[in-house]
Amino acid sequence: MTLSSNMLGLRTMLIEFDSSDTIEGVIRTVTTTSEHFGEDFQPQVRPADPRFGDFQANGVLPFAKKAGINPRELAQKLMDALPQTDLWETSIAGPGFINFKLSPSYFLQWLEKFADTESIQKAVQTENPQKVVVDFSGPNTAKQMHVGHIRSTIIGESLARLLHFLGHEVIRDNHLGDWGTQFGILLYAIKREKIALDQLGPDPIAKLENLYRQGNKWIKEEECNLAEAREELVKLQNGDSENLALWQKIKEISMDSFLSIYEILGVHFDHSLGESFYKDKIDPIYENLLSHQICKEDEGALVVFHPEHKRFSKQPFIIRKSDGASNYATTDLATVEYRKNEWNSDQIIYVTDGRQRDHFEQLFLTVQKWYSAEKRKSPSLEHVWFGTILGDDNKAIKTRDGEPIKLIDLLNEAISRARKMVIEKKPDLAEVEIEKRAKAIGLGAVRYADLSQDRTLDYVFSWEKMLAMQGNTAPYLQYAVARIHSIFRKAQVLPTQILSTHYQPNTDSERSLARKFLFFPGVIKQTTKELKPHFLGCYLFELATEFSSFYNQSKVMVEEEEIKTLRLILCARSLIILQIGMDILGIETLEEM
């Protein structure tokens, strides 16, 4: 077996952030030129059971099995070929896994190299930056945002932050539902009630919602009312100036109410191009799809069948209704086209409820066929869907009288519950400080309750659970951060100050905390690959727990300067990673709690 690795090259590789990659790199340098392994060999480096090591290379077993070689012997060959280093020890486990136990000096070098947010960010940033549209929130105008919209807003915001952190160019687009049949009913009700839209009182959006409800009742009562509502819609769609002005005003009122929620949540958009923006961009879509024979007329409607697909071969994608009107599918097709042509986007991520899975699957299939017929590269399309928020009764969450819960009420309740917690703990805190903490804790709790679960699952909304100081909650993470700040206050050192020591992580608790840091890039990778923030959330919870057991076992303010410094460094790195992660999830951190 030849040993072609360059020891100097290896040394720098070894301190790179993601040590799973570096161990992988070392193994590859040895195996690619080896007669026993060759280029195809996959080292498969993973975090190991901490009793045996820090990382484990699992690739020998499947490789040996396929080649009909004894895996333990092959593992021994690989181990013998690895370069001598004082950065780790290796051992063979089970039928042929190789364990790597990192040495204290490895950890110390790592801690020194990754001393601030920038160096950590640089280590995880992408080599292939993409232009990514994140399409999220997307409430419908003339209605208040209900609790149903919170998941898209929270998950979308977090994914946008994550991708931005990784170095992608992110475009945040709020695809408002601002064009559709609801306006016929609403315009009809406004006119019948003779309401002036600038005199709707203190809560105009609630008033509009009531008008819509009233209109709905009327059209169900009598045929002729329905006809009138339809007439209003046709007028609007044909550009009637009175109806257009009313529609514009409704949109403004709605937008104001959405903006107040986005402001509370700290969410922003680069664009809010709703469905109405595309209303004059749909004719070319029909023409294009017809000319490529991707769609066809069916009972007066224009539809796309996907014969190769089990369900969609019988259930077509309707892109023009039989009355000639465009729909959600049409505007979504025009939206893809716009985002590709105008923004040159590489990827589009749609964050919506799981009930829209069929819609997006059909949309994506249609786009694929359309772009490939035109030999154009389509943006890669991703539907990030989520489950329902449930009440105590395991049904979609509602108010006591069966109405959907208004998002604004929910956020206000979160803040007011957190305010009580803050005051209980520190009754004489200044008012501004109470408000700041209440907001951070209350909103953090609501966000994290959502982001700490696999998004595809439904979850039960529980104030007690999400606001608990113990367990996988935002207050628990925020408390860990505040505790680290208080350690630095006591030490009279700033957490950002660069410290240096000769004392290497030796004790179990020092080692196991330092080890946890090394898994951060892998977690970021997985979160990005699956677009599931709970991977990051769960890691942060584990890190906070690890920190807490380190702190219970290892006194920081010890006499020996070198040991104290190492422990402060461990606290500082825990803080940086917690802050980076919580910021990606949109959870504010506090210096005191």
How many Å apart are CA 63 and CA 85, to the nearest integer?
A: 25
Q: Which span sits near ligand ARG by CB under 6 A: 18-26, 135-143, 427-435, 510-518?
A: 135-143
Q: How far is the CB of 170 from ligand ARG (least distance, A)?
A: 16
Q: How far is the CB of 528 from ligand ARG (least distance, A)?
A: 21
Among 135, 209, 337, 510, binds ligand ARG (CB under 6 A): 135
The alpha carbons of the chain give a radius of gyration, in whole angstroms, of 29
Q: Which span sits near ligand ARG by CB under 6 A: 87-95, 133-141, 401-409, 410-418?
A: 133-141
CA 164 to chain centre: 11
Q: How far is the CB of 125 from ligand ARG (least distance, A)?
A: 28
Among 25, 59, 156, 177, binds ligand ARG (CB under 6 A): 177
Q: How far is the CB of 158 from ligand ARG (least distance, A)?
A: 17
Alpha helices in 309-395 (DSSP H): 328-341, 357-373
x/- map, 79-118, ligand ARG, by CB under 6 A? ----------------------------------------
Phi/psi at 201 (5° precision):
85, -170
Instruction: Give the Å distances, CA to CA, from 433 to 76, 164, 235, 439, 525.
Output: 61, 30, 53, 10, 36
User: Is there a contact between 501 and 569 (Cβ–Cβ < 8 Å)?
Assistant: yes
Q: How far is the CB of 7 from ligand ARG (least distance, A)?
A: 54
Residue 180, interface with ligand ARG (CB under 6 A)? no
Q: Which is nearer to ligand ARG, 143 or 439 (CB)?
A: 143
Residue 509, interface with ligand ARG (CB under 6 A)? no
Q: Which is nearer to ligand ARG, 180 or 204 (CB)?
A: 180
Q: How many residues bind ligand ARG (CB under 6 A)?
A: 9
Place of tokens 């716009």: 338
Q: Across-strand partners of 93?
A: 97
How many Å apart are CA 151 and CA 157, to the nearest integer?
A: 10
Among 350, 448, 459, 461, binds ligand ARG (CB under 6 A): 350
Instruction: Give the Å distances, CA to CA, from 492 to 568, 574, 577.
Output: 11, 18, 21
Among 138, 156, 180, 586, binds ligand ARG (CB under 6 A): 138
For ligand ARG, which residue has the nearest CB?
A: 138
Q: How far is the CB of 457 from ligand ARG (least distance, A)?
A: 19
Q: Which is nearer to ligand ARG, 335 or 366 (CB)?
A: 335
Alpha helices in 114-149 (DSSP H): 117-124
Which residues within the stretch 538-557 sit at the binding site for ligand ARG (CB under 6 A)? none
Residue 332, interface with ligand ARG (CB under 6 A)? yes
> Strand order of the sheet with strand 296-298?
296-298, 301-304, 317-320
Q: Which span sits near ligand ARG by CB under 6 A: 134-142, 278-286, 418-426, 506-514?
A: 134-142
CA 123 to chain centre: 20
x/- map, 245-284, ligand ARG, by CB under 6 A? ----------------------------------------
Q: How far is the CB of 215 from ligand ARG (least distance, A)?
A: 19
How many Å apart are CA 486 and CA 491, to the nearest integer?
A: 9
Among 29, 31, 58, 140, binds ligand ARG (CB under 6 A): 140
Q: Which is nearer to ligand ARG, 177 or 521 (CB)?
A: 177
User: Is there a contact between 145 and 139 (Cβ–Cβ < 8 Å)?
Assistant: yes
User: Is there a contact between 162 and 387 (Cβ–Cβ < 8 Å)?
Assistant: no
Q: How far is the CB of 320 from ligand ARG (least distance, A)?
A: 17
How many Å apart are CA 461 and CA 464, to the nearest integer?
A: 9
Instruction: Give the Å distances, CA to CA, from 14 to 86, 317, 508, 514, 569.
Output: 11, 53, 22, 15, 20
Give the dihedral sign, CA 508/513/514/516: positive
Q: Which is nearer to ligand ARG, 163 or 348 (CB)?
A: 348
Place of tokens 């998950």: 155
Residue 366, interface with ligand ARG (CB under 6 A)? no
Which residues within the stretch 395-454 sit at the binding site for ligand ARG (CB under 6 A)? none
The H or E element containing residue 189 is: helix 182-193
Residue 352, interface with ligand ARG (CB under 6 A)? yes
Taking residue 482's Cβ as centre, other Cβ atoms within 10 Å add up to 16
User: Is there a contact between 578 and 520 (Cβ–Cβ < 8 Å)?
Assistant: no
Residues that bind ligand ARG (CB under 6 A): 135, 138, 140, 175, 177, 332, 335, 350, 352
